[in-house]
Amino acid sequence: MNIRELADLAGVSASTVSKIMNNKDSSISPATRERVLQIAKQYNYQSYSSLIDKGTTTLTLGIVFRCASAINMTLNGILKAAQDSGYTIMLRESGDDPEEEARNISVLCSHHVDGIIWEFVDQTSSEQLQVITRYGIPVVVFNSEYEAAINIDYEELGYNAVQTLIDAGHTGIACINAPGIGAEEFTEGYRKCLFQNHIPLEEELIYDQINSMLTHKISSHAISGIVSSCYTAAASLYDAVKELRYELPYDISLVSLRDDLWEKDVFRPISTFTIPHYEFGEYLCNRLIGEIEKSEISFPAFCKSVTLDNEDSVGIPYNNHSKKIAVIGSINIDNYLKMSVLPRTGKTVNSSLSASYVGGKAINEAVGAARLGQRVSVIGRVGNDVDSDQVFQALNAHGIDAIGVKRCSGYRTGQAYIFVQSDGDSMISIMSGANEALAPQDIREVERIFENAAFCLIQTEIPMDTVMEACRIARKHGAKTILKPVACGTLSAELLGCVDIIVPNAEEINEICPSDDDMDEQAAYLLDQGVGTVIVTLGAEGCFVKTRQEAEYFPAVLFDVIDASGAADAFISALASYLLDGYTLHESVRIAAYAAGFSISREGVTPSLIDKNTLEAYIMQREPELL
């Protein structure tokens, strides 16, 4: 086609066509320019001057890849977008050779391409930009750390892969950072997601290849999930896991990225996020054409929503196949002062000892159950302060799932001020802090924690509507509730109807049932309200247990009293742990009395909570029939 034929088709003069094709069309309307260019694209028209003048339109795009085969689908997307817009492609490949790259740029400039899509070899590639600038050729740079480069958001893909496993209940998550495009960004997404979910980062769980250390972590169940930036590495890991006679996702969950070029792997059912290479190629090409044609359309950053292709290799963590204990309640820093006698009005006393520990009833009971061999999840709130760091460190040290513990800006982590007399008696004052911020909605947001819970330990040092919601959701998922009423006054019939076991002390049951003085009658009242079992702790006098079938006093286990402030927490955590292990209520109460006895013989609450081996070794010497 010559210029006159093109002019006739467009209904304009040959001079108008010449001006448009030579970029001298400032006096020509945008509509006319677009019409002429559209016909020129359809017929792949090139003017004679385009072969010799660098300022003319050639309807040709230059593409410079490091390795075209490595990004096949990106190239396919570019080709499709170019063809749809009437452009042809000149493709050049640089490998990892800067000199070859320089030659490629020179060739494209000499052919007067209208624009260039360019994958840098390295950071020195940007020095070649001045060559292109002299020709006035628009450039789009991609897959590069260059400031103006356009890249697929591999960090978001890594974040989403990890979040998929966290949403399934995983906290021990490893990362395979296989060498390749976007691998480092993928790993940054891994780090970011762990941080934002309050899961401590362990750098040793980031691997650049599959090795014996990783397979050992899998076989010992030290990790429960793995994310991979490379499907080839994920496939190799899948094969290695099968060789070890483990199953996905029962023993280990796996999420990987996957190139959109590949068909579904029928031999390896792996959960994947497909990298949107094709759409990315289309975006690169359309953006370049927009710059070439001075389009008024604005191009936002490349954003392609990516969802998990399948859930074939994503399941709950291996350890979650057994039942666990969920704990909902207060989280504090316990500040201790020890003195010969407790202070009173008009009386100043000196302290002989001060100390601080991570505490609060939720932490105390969680740590107590964890030391007795149970899997534990905690739901609570801490402030956005240094104390909150101590809380997460303590939870991590005991292997407690802290996915339900969140920081609250504008609040301080709760504080407990504990005055301990030399005979072990104590007074406690609480500053609720962030505990006040634990709302019913927060419980609903982590409802999955209840799904595999056998027992939920709940305390009333949090808002009562939150206590009610926790009991309601626990009942919904078949978990038995153990309620510790603290400074709460009377309790609603609705709440009591959702409680399986209530564990007040003598003063607390008087607050709950103010009209009755007889403990047996008080317990009967609570049973009438729907409570399953009432256990009243009586300190050195033991405890009183009443069910619908029987009532019985259990003696205390005598230990030297150093600090009695955590006895109830030790009792409740042991009670739940041994009920979960299949012991009867009678046996569990007796074992819990031993755990409470140990707790009063040491300073502090969490430091005094007994471990399973020590507790059972002691019981075997005195009441072996219990075990």
Q: What is the pLDDT of residue 63?
A: 93
> Which is more confidently placed, 296 or 512?
512
pLDDT at 243: 87
Helix (H, G, I), strand (E, B) or coil at 377: strand
Query: 21 near 50, Cβ under 8 Å?
Result: yes
Task: Identify the band that residue 57 occupies on the pLDDT scale cut at 50, 70 and 90.
Answer: confident
- Res 1 pLDDT > 70: no
Residue 199 reports pLDDT greater than 50: yes
Q: Does pLDDT of 277 surpass 70?
A: yes
CA distances from 425 to 316, 346, 402, 535, 573 (A): 44, 20, 32, 21, 21
Name the DSSP letter for residue 302.
P
Stretch among 19-23, 29-33, 532-536, 608-612 having the lowest mean pLDDT = 19-23
Question: What does the chain come to in residues?
Answer: 627
pTM, two decimal places: 0.59
The pLDDT of residue 44 is: 57
Q: Specify whether the CB–CB gap between 556 and 539 falls below 8 A.
A: yes
Q: Estimate to the nearest angstrom the gap between the alpha carbon of 413 and the chain centroid.
A: 22
| 112 strand-pairing partners | none
Tokens of 133: 């600038």
In 214-239, which positions are buried (b, 16+ CB within 10 angstroms) versus exposed (e)? bbebbeeeebbbbbbbbbebbbbbbe
Walk me through the domains of the chain, giving residue ranges and CATH numbers. 3-149 (3.40.50.2300), 154-281 (3.40.50.2300), 322-626 (3.40.1190.20)
Contact status, residue 94 vs residue 101, Cβ threshold 8 Å: yes
pLDDT band at 22 (very low <50, low <70, confident <90, very high): confident
Across 59-66, average pLDDT:
91
The predicted-structure confidence for 435-476, as pLDDT tens digits, reads as follows 999 999 999 988 888 988 999 999 999 999 999 999 999 999
Predicted pLDDT of residue 49: 55
Mean pLDDT score across all residues of the chain: 89
Distance between CA atoms of 586 and 582, rounded to whole angstroms?
12
Q: Which residues pair with 401 in a beta bridge?
A: 377
Question: What was the pLDDT predicted at 338?
Answer: 79
**Res 55 pLDDT > 60:** no
Share of the chain above pLDDT 70, in %: 95
The three-class DSSP label of residue 327 is strand
Q: In what order do the strands lie in the sheet with 426-431?
A: 351-359, 332-339, 414-421, 426-431
User: Residue 594: CA atoms inside 13 Å, Cβ hemisphere, count?
Assistant: 23
Give the pLDDT band of residue 246 (cuts 50, 70, 90).
confident
- Average confidence (pLDDT) over 418-428: 76
What is the predicted pLDDT for the residue at 257?
A: 95
Token code pair at residue 278: 């094709």
Q: Is residue 6 within 8 Å of residue 43, measured between CB atoms?
A: yes
Work out the pLDDT band at 261, boundaries 50, 70, 90.
low
Q: In the predicted model, what is the mean pLDDT of residues 263-272?
A: 80
**Which of helix, strand or coil describes residue 210?**
coil
Q: Vertex 80, ends 309 and 283: CA angle to 5°?
A: 65
- Residue 267: CB atoms within 10 Å: 9
